[in-house]
Every structure is written in C-alpha cells, then in structure tokens.
Amino acid sequence: MSITTNHPLRLVAAFVLGCVCWGASASEPAMFGFGFGSVATPADLQSFVSPLPDGRGLPDGQGTVEQGKVIYQAQCVACHGDKLQGGLGDRLIGGRQTLVNSDPTKAPIKTVESYWPYATTLFDYVKRAMPLYSPGSLSNDEVYAVTAYILSEAKVVSPDAMLDKTSLGQVKMPNRDGFIPDRRPDKFKRVAEIPHSK
C-alpha cells in the first residue's frame, strides 16, 4: 500500500478507537478525585447563602446600623479603616460619579457605594469572605448589622435603618442603573424569572 492510502486508514482507525473509548467512559458515572477534600454534606451547606439581587435566598436575621458600628470597629477597622477609607483592605465608601469620566489621569474609585449595583452582594460577600482572618465566622444578624452600617456610612440607608431579608433586597444602590442589562434573553433570564430555593 502507498503512504497516501495508509494515512486515511490511520485517521479512520483513530476515530473509531476514540469513539469506542468515549462511549465506554460515558456509560459509567465518572468519579474524579484529587486525593483531598470530601463531598459536601447537608450540614456543610447549612451556612451557605446565595442571595439574588431582589433578596430571594437571604437568610433569616436582622441588624441595625448601631449594632453594625460596634461589630465593624471590632472586626473590620484594622483592614478597612475607622472611616471606611481603606488601608490593608479596600476602601468601602465614596467614589460616586468617578466611574465614567473623560480624564484619563483620574482613575475610577470602585467601592461598595460607587460600583456595586445590589446591596445583597454586600451581604453575600461579607457572609462568605469576611473578616479576612476568620471568613464565615459572623452570624447572619452580625452580617445584616455590618451591611447596615456600611450602607449608612455611604448614605444609602438612614442612620436608624434595620436590615433583614425583606428590606435588604429593596435597597437601591447608587450605581444600580450603571450597568447595561444583557440583551440576550435566550441566554440569560431576568433575575425575577429565575427560580430560587428558600
């Protein structure tokens, strides 16, 4: 046989072998592992929170601005500063109207106040990732309180605000309308149309 005849036969043989191997692996459930970790149990997922922008999925609990100030001073001030101005951690407030400007020498100031479109994002982030050296250690009440304090200092909620799973989803952030909605409804449904547990 010539080289040109062998070449297509090799391709066909490789294709058939690949299909056979793929079919065999697809018929058995795959269990991939890396030699560490374990499967999450329902108890592990008890503290997992996944809120939507409208508040669906937020846990029970509540917190006030005054309670949040005490918790912030004990848990957050070392990284974010006594005036929420930042330090080791990011600046949390200020920066409104800095995201869009025509001066290339002025960088936008991205903070909770100026950039984040939904207050529920703040709750979610604090609940999962803060404080830095003990993430996930704050109770739901403490997270609602810290969220209320940060939003109050940003003048998004009043100084006497109390936040819970109902009121937090109703907070309108300063940059909520600063994002362009995805125009592909066939790819991404609107938040209100997404089913969510809890």
Residue showing tokens 């290339």: 104
Full-model pTM = 0.74
CA dihedral over 38, 39, 40, 42, signed as positive or negative: negative
- Residue among 120, 169, 182, 174 at smallest CA distance from 147: 120
pLDDT of residue 25: 52
Pairwise CA distance, residues 11 & 183, whole Å: 43
- pLDDT tens by residue, 17-47: 666 656 555 544 455 667 788 888 888 887 7
Residues in the chain: 198
Beta bridge partners of 80: none
- pLDDT tens by residue, 59-109: 999 999 999 999 999 999 999 999 999 999 999 999 998 888 788 888 899
Question: Given 1.10.760.10, 2.30.110.10, 1.10.10.60, 3.40.605.10, which CATH number is that of 50-179?
Answer: 1.10.760.10
C-beta neighbour count of 182 within 10 angstroms: 10
- pLDDT tens by residue, 160-195: 999 999 999 999 999 998 887 777 766 666 666 777
Pairwise CA distance, residues 169 & 51, whole Å: 9
Residue 123 near residue 164, CB atoms below 8 Å: no
What does residue 151 show for φ and ψ, rounded to 5 degrees? -65, -30
Query: What ranges do the domains of the chain cover?
Result: 50-179
